[in-house]
Structure 1
Amino acid sequence: MTKTIFLVDDDDAIRHSASFMLRHAGYTVKTYPDGVTFLDEYAPNESACILLDVRMPVMDGLAVQQALSDRGNKMPIIVLTGHGDVSVAVQAMKNGAIEFLEKPYEKKALLEAIETGFSRMADEEAQTGLKNEAVAKLTQLTTREAEVLDCLVDGMTNKAIADRLSISPRTVEIHRANLMEKLEADSLSAALRIAFMADRGRTQV
């Protein structure tokens, strides 16, 4: 799969040299001369790594980063700084940037930062996929089966569940067996993992 880099920098020479180097390393590179142009042209659902200069006219890197955050950006951001911009870079890191590189940056450091960004993005996409799968499984449950699952999430025994739902322990066992089958869970812990993945009951640890 082709990996895309968005390079946002007002320096023509850096855009040219960095994009050449990155394309040679196998990436697809889209360059933007300023933050405003980038924000106007990129699509929020694109999957890419952003190289963002902090010192730009009209709209600096921190402002671009904030605008991306306001739009729900999930793409990893690597901040590019000039000498003396460390405090700005630290602020960018606090705001969610995964790395900052001081110009002139080394090729090895840049490529490592980019790969870290793509690895994090892949991890997040995998987690999102698992969560969506868990939610889909939970939608198959009947109202009563979902109630039994919620009780299991609360750590209740079959007898306690029966008392809470005013049904017999045998009926609880039947609902429990049915929900386990629908969730494709071979154990209570597997069923609970699915529930937690879907944020049911409590946040997954």
Structure 2
Amino acid sequence: MNSDQARVFIIDDESDVRAALSMLIRSIGLEVETFSNALDFLVSYRPQWSGCIVADIRMPGMSGLELQEKLNAMGADMPLIFISGHADVPTAVRAIQEGALDLLEKPFSDQRLLDKVQSAVRRDLERRAEIAVRGQLQQRYAALTPREREVMTAVVAGKMNKVTAHELNLSTRTVELHRANVMEKMQAGSLAELVRLAQMLELDESGPA
């Protein structure tokens, strides 16, 4: 099983529901993994998994809400879509407040579920791509010297080189050299791009968030 490939994880105690949902979701080219209970999924779960979860909200043993609570405690951010034949309003509200993407009440149309699943998978892939980009940016930022970081902070704050030179007790030429090094190491082709990268890193005067 390729851990990098996006999949839909179906968790439902009814075998006929698992089979029907699997067939439906595979019909649009997505990989599917099924689990008959929430505990089995939780034991098998790996942080590198990508895709989304489709789970019944009421199941014997660990309920869907309990699963959601444990996943949240683990910091797992995979989108979660609940399905239910008898969800009351407080349960639905709690599920959404705790971060569920949606709660679909049975009977729901095949297309509605497919739309939600495709949206959830796309959202998860985009989130993971952003995390990967941020990780690369953090590596670039870590390669800067302390002085280069000071200069970068000044540059993205819009300070002129001579002002930065005065504040850091450097020559303007030295600031220019540090600035050029920052642009190269951060792989920024322009000042606007450097500012954008700093925003992605959530830089403040003390460094990345």
Larger CA deviation: 195-204 vs 155-164: 195-204
CA distance in 1, matches of 2:133, 2:125: 12
- The sequence identity of aligned pairs, in percent, is 37
Match of 2:142 in 1: 139
Q: For this pair of structures, how many residues does the alignment match?
A: 204
Deviation at 1:20, TM superposition (A): 2.4
Q: Which amino acid aligns with 1:156?
A: K
The 5 Å alignment of 1:91-130 reads 91-130=94-133
CA distance in 2, matches of 1:95, 1:152: 40
Q: Which amino acid aligns with 1:55?
A: R
Deviation at 1:79, TM superposition (A): 0.8
Native 8 Å contact 1:8 1:53 kept in 2:
yes
SS at match of 1:49: strand
Matched, 1:6 2:9: yes
What's the Cα RMSD here?
Answer: 2.2
- Selected match of 1:18 from 2, 10, 21: 21
Match of 1:157 in 2: 160
Native 8 Å contact 1:78 1:100 kept in 2:
yes
Native 8 Å contact 1:51 1:78 kept in 2:
yes
Matched, 1:83 2:86: yes
Q: Which amino acid aligns with 2:151?
A: V
Match of 2:69 in 1: 66
SS at match of 1:51: strand
CA distance in 2, matches of 1:93, 1:201: 33
- Selected match of 2:49 from 46, 50, 62: 46
Native 8 Å contact 1:5 1:29 kept in 2:
yes
Native 8 Å contact 1:130 1:197 kept in 2:
no
CA distance in 2, matches of 1:180, 1:84: 54
Deviation at 1:84, TM superposition (A): 4.2
| Structure 2 runs not aligned, ≥5 long | none
| Structure 1 runs not aligned, ≥5 long | none
Q: Which amino acid aligns with 2:193?
A: A
In structure 2, do the counterparts of structure 1 residues 151 and 118 end up closer, same or farther at CA, with 3 Å as the change threshold?
Answer: same
Native 8 Å contact 1:81 1:89 kept in 2:
no
Q: Which amino acid aligns with 2:100?
A: A
CA distance in 2, matches of 1:60, 1:122: 26
SS at match of 1:200: coil
CA distance in 2, matches of 1:43, 1:162: 49
SS at match of 1:105: coil
SS at match of 1:151: helix
TM-score by length of 1: 0.89
Match of 1:174 in 2: 177
CA distance in 1, matches of 2:42, 2:64: 11
Native 8 Å contact 1:132 1:198 kept in 2:
no
TM-score by length of 2: 0.87
